[in-house]
């Protein structure tokens, strides 16, 4: 695990050093859990967004896209349940004045017990050498079994207290486990309170007349409130979907792990409206479709898994996450939720407007059920980047850092490099870029030895490098080098574009 943590640190510093992700307002020491995307990061992010949009909107006749505003009528959030129930349980340490998520304090305590299990396994594996059977050890060793039982008891108590909203018991649990504040080292805790995650602000020109409005904590509600508009103007027939990508905001208290959990982030969501009773069929369909989308990027399937929810939110009748193996373990990347008619039903009630579909075949109206797919764009970025980051030892003994970003997502598709700056080679390189840039993001690089230029492109994940040399001037051919294999071949200038296009097909 230490090794993975190490890799994660390297990914973060690489992301900064090479213009992918910067801390927000860094010259003022940054803003916690808020990040800016740099020159390559914004390209990668845009490419992920487009890849999603194509798969969801362009390739599906019955899905259309919208772009709703971030600000919405305050009643939207009352109807959706966010004003009353979009909370985290928080606790403050009276000595350090630091605020924590109570459930995370307990989960961190559990993680420490898990560490102890790992240490026992490590010790035993050293002791028994090749004869060590991990599976047998963790199911029979008394100390490990004691730790496991402890974890089970603590988790059960935590989740059942949270479900019952018994915050006094969550505090009692923290006290019984003798959890101390990591900063002050004391056990001087306040009571646990619910804390709403929505950011609010005022809209209106005068303070008295101002309304409290919220920065949307999910993009989904922009889709629900536009259900009627889109259905009517797009002459949509059920089943159909509405998709959108956009910013969402949550006042996350435990904001850590880089861009995994941010206060300002971007979601890519799709609400699929179906006939009541058919939702489970569509839920299964979208679970499979979304997994296929992830796998189409060429990242190995072992890096993904489903996590079916056992405990469901009050509005859902089925829910699953697609988890990805980040450097800090398997974590949620996308959620697929069967949300019943909860949202449309609630908006119908609060707005007094009929949000129904008229079925011509059966001559009846109903509030459609909804199957939602909801994926974090920043989290997908982190998944791609952490998978792509590779340190390689080369045959000649040198090392390289290469980002094996799926080609279709790579920020720069091709770098064009004159071997030397003189004798018309630069001009030829510019001429080739002039053609390629109409289709692809290109970069011109004439500085340093060619090997160093290759390394620079490897570090930002550019799939192809093209070198212009003296032969180019004679026979109009170039050397094209592929990022992952580092193989080089000689091709005519007219074939470059086609070669890149072929490799970008998915
Ligand atoms: N409309 C449903 C919804 O918002 P969610 O599970 O709360 O569901 C969906 O969020 C996805 O949004 C998550 O799977 C995750 O990828 C992303 N996400 C949620 N909170 C995030 C945060 N604080 N920072 C980055 N991404 C986040």
Rounded to an integer, what distance in angstroms lies between the CA atom of residue 8 and that of residue 326? 9
Q: Which positions of the chain have pLDDT values less than 70?
A: 1-2, 205-210, 505-506
Site to probe by mutation for ligand 1, drawn from 49, 264, 265 as the one with most ligand atoms within 8 Å of Cβ, is: 265
Q: Catalogue all structural domains in the chain, each as residue range(s) with its CATH number.
A: 412-504 (3.40.50.800)
Q: Closest Cα to atom 7, ligand 1: which residue?
A: 218
Rounded to an integer, what distance in angstroms lies between the CA atom of residue 361 and that of residue 188? 65
Q: Closest Cα to atom 26, ligand 1: which residue?
A: 376
- 97 CA to middle of ligand 1, Å? 28
Q: What angle, 0 to 180 degrees and rounded to 10, lies between the N-to-C axes of helices 167-176 and 142-163?
A: 160
From residue 97, alpha-carbon distances to 185, 197, 255, 427 in Å are 12, 19, 17, 63
Q: Closest Cα to atom 22, ligand 1: which residue?
A: 261
Element (H or E) spanning 427, and its range?
A: helix 425-436
Site to probe by mutation for ligand 1, drawn from 223, 243, 251, 332 as the one with most ligand atoms within 8 Å of Cβ, is: 332
Site to probe by mutation for ligand 1, drawn from 252, 319, 332, 376 as the one with most ligand atoms within 8 Å of Cβ, is: 376
Whether the Cβ atoms of residue 265 and residue 248 lie closer than 8 Å to each other? yes
Give me the DSSP letters along 114-149: HHHHHHHHHHHHHHHGGG--HHHHHHH-HHHHHHHH
- Cβ–ligand 1 distance for 88 under 6 Å, the answer no
Element (H or E) spanning 45, and its range?
A: helix 41-53
Closest atom of ligand 1 to CA, residue 250: 23
Whether the Cβ atoms of residue 175 and residue 192 lie closer than 8 Å to each other? no
- 267 CA to middle of ligand 1, Å? 7
Closest atom of ligand 1 to CA, residue 332: 14
- Cβ–ligand 1 distance for 323 under 6 Å, the answer no
Kindly calculate the radius of gyration of the chain based on its CA atoms and give it in whole angstroms.
27
CB burial string 99-116: b at 16+ within 10 A, e below:
ebbbbbbbeebbeeeeee
- 376 CA to middle of ligand 1, Å? 5
DSSP-assigned beta bridge partners for residue 390: 402
Closest CA to 154 of 139, 168, 170: 170
Closest atom of ligand 1 to CA, residue 335: 14
Rounded to an integer, what distance in angstroms lies between the CA atom of residue 302 and that of residue 324? 9
pLDDT at 209: 64
Question: Strand 240-249 vs strand 63-65: parallel, antiparallel, or unpaired?
Answer: parallel
- Cβ–ligand 1 distance for 279 under 6 Å, the answer no
User: Which residue is listed with tokens 């040198």?
Assistant: 398
The DSSP symbol for 54 reads I
The DSSP symbol for 215 reads B
- Cβ–ligand 1 distance for 249 under 6 Å, the answer no
CB burial string 272-291: b at 16+ within 10 A, e below:
bbbbeeebeebbeebbeebb
- 270 CA to middle of ligand 1, Å? 13
- Cβ–ligand 1 distance for 290 under 6 Å, the answer no
pLDDT at 256: 76
How far from the centroid of its chain's Cα atoms is residue 56's Cα?
Answer: 17
Rounded to an integer, what distance in angstroms lies between the CA atom of residue 269 and that of residue 223? 9
User: Which residue is listed with tokens 């949307």?
Assistant: 216
What values do phi and psi take at 198, rounded to 5? -85, 140
Q: Token pair of 175, please?
A: 């006290």
pLDDT at 1: 46
- 487 CA to middle of ligand 1, Å? 40
- Cβ–ligand 1 distance for 253 under 6 Å, the answer no
What is the four-CA torsion angle of 257, 260, 261, 266, rounded to 10 degrees?
150
- Cβ–ligand 1 distance for 269 under 6 Å, the answer yes
- 131 CA to middle of ligand 1, Å? 44
pLDDT at 109: 95
- 333 CA to middle of ligand 1, Å? 8
Whether the Cβ atoms of residue 157 and residue 169 lie closer than 8 Å to each other? yes
Rounded to an integer, what distance in angstroms lies between the CA atom of residue 62 and that of residue 236? 7
Rounded to an integer, what distance in angstroms lies between the CA atom of residue 189 and that of residue 26? 33
Closest atom of ligand 1 to CA, residue 261: 24
Q: Which residues contact 464 (CB under 8 A, 6 or more apart)?
A: 413, 414, 415, 480, 481, 482, 483, 499, 500, 503
Give me the DSSP letters along 381-420: HHHHHHHHEEEEE-TTS-EEEEE---GGG-S--EEEEESS
Question: Strand 318-326 vs strand 304-308: parallel, antiparallel, or unpaired?
Answer: antiparallel
- 500 CA to middle of ligand 1, Å? 34
- Cβ–ligand 1 distance for 378 under 6 Å, the answer yes
Site to probe by mutation for ligand 1, drawn from 312, 379, 381 as the one with most ligand atoms within 8 Å of Cβ, is: 379
Closest atom of ligand 1 to CA, residue 218: 4
Closest atom of ligand 1 to CA, residue 269: 1
Q: Which residues contact 196 (CB under 8 A, 6 or more apart)?
A: 82, 83, 86, 87, 251
What values do phi and psi take at 143, rounded to 5? -65, -45
Q: Closest Cα to atom 10, ligand 1: which residue?
A: 374
> How confident is the model over 122-149, as pLDDT tens digits?
999 999 998 999 999 999 999 999 999 9
Please count the other Cβ atoms lying within 10 Å of the Cβ belonging to residue 17. Answer: 10
- Cβ–ligand 1 distance for 318 under 6 Å, the answer no
Q: Token pair of 134, please?
A: 């991990």
Q: 239: cis peptide before it, omega within 30°?
A: yes
Closest CA to 222 of 370, 66, 351, 63: 66
- Cβ–ligand 1 distance for 472 under 6 Å, the answer no
Whether the Cβ atoms of residue 72 and residue 214 lie closer than 8 Å to each other? yes
pLDDT at 180: 96
Rounded to an integer, what distance in angstroms lies between the CA atom of residue 468 and that of residue 193? 65
Q: Token pair of 256, please?
A: 């850590």
Closest atom of ligand 1 to CA, residue 219: 1
Exposed/middle/buried for residue 271 (C-beta within 10 Å: 0-12, 13-18, 19+): buried
Please count the other Cβ atoms lying within 10 Å of the Cβ belonging to residue 162. Answer: 18
Q: Closest Cα to atom 2, ligand 1: which residue?
A: 374
- 278 CA to middle of ligand 1, Å? 26
């Amino acid at each position: 695990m230490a090794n993975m943590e190490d890799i994660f640190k390297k990914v973060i510093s690489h992301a900064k050093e090479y213009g992918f992700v910067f801390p927000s307002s860094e010259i003022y020491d940054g803003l916690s859990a808020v990040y800016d995307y740099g020159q390559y990061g914004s390209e990668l992010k845009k490419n992920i967004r487009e890849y999603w949009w194509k798969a969801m909107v362009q390739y599906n006749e019955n899905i259309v896209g919208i772009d709703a505003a971030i600000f919405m009528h305050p009643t939207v959030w009352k109807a959706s349940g966010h004003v009353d129930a979009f909370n985290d349980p928080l606790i403050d340490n009276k000595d350090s004045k630091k605020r924590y998520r109570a459930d995370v304090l307990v989960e961190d305590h559990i993680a420490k017990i898990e560490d102890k299990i790992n240490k026992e396994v490590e010790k035993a594996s050293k002791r028994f050498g090749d004869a060590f059977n991990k599976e047998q050890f963790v199911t029979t060793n008394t100390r490990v079994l004691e730790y496991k039982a402890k974890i089970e008891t603590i988790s059960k108590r935590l989740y059942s207290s949270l479900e019952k909203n018994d915050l006094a018991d969550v505090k009692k649990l923290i006290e019984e486990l003798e959890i101390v504040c990591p900063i002050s080292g004391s056990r001087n805790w306040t009571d646990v309170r619910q804390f709403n995650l929505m950011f609010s602000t005022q809209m209106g020109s005068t303070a008295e007349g101002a309304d409290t409005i919220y920065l949307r904590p999910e993009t989904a509600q922009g889709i629900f409130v536009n259900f009627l508009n889109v259905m009517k103007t797009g002459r949509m027939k059920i089943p159909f979907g509405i998709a959108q990508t956009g910013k969402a905001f949550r006042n996350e208290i435990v904001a850590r792990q880089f861009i995994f959990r941010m206060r300002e982030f971007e979601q890519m969501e799709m609400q699929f409206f179906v006939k009541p009773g058919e939702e489970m069929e569509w839920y299964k369909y979208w679970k499979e479709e979304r997994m296929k989308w992830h796998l189409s990027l060429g990242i190995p399937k072992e890096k993904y898994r489903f996590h079916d929810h056992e405990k469901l939110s009050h509005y859902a009748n089925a829910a699953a996450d697609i988890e990805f193996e980040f450097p800090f373990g398997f974590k949620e990347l996308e959620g697929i939720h069967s949300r019943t008619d909860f949202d449309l039903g609630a908006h119908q009630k609060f707005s007094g407007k009929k949000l129904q579909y008229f079925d011509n075949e059966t001559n009846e109206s109903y509030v459609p059920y909804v199957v939602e797919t909801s994926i974090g764009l920043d989290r997908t970025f982190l998944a791609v980047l952490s998978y792509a980051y590779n340190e390689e030892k080369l045959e000649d003994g040198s090392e390289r850092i290469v980002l094996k970003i799926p080609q279709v997502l790579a920020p720069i598709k091709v770098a064009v490099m004159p071997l030397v700056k003189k004798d018309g080679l630069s001009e030829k390189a510019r001429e080739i870029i002039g053609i390629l840039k109409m289709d692809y993001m290109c970069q011109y690089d004439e500085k340093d030895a060619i090997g160093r230029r290759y390394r620079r492109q490897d570090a930002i994940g550019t799939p192809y490098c093209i070198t212009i040399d003296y032969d180019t001037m004679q026979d109009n051919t170039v050397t094209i080098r592929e990022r992952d294999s580092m193989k080089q071949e000689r091709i005519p200038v007219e074939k470059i574009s086609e070669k890149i296009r072929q490799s970008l097909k998915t």
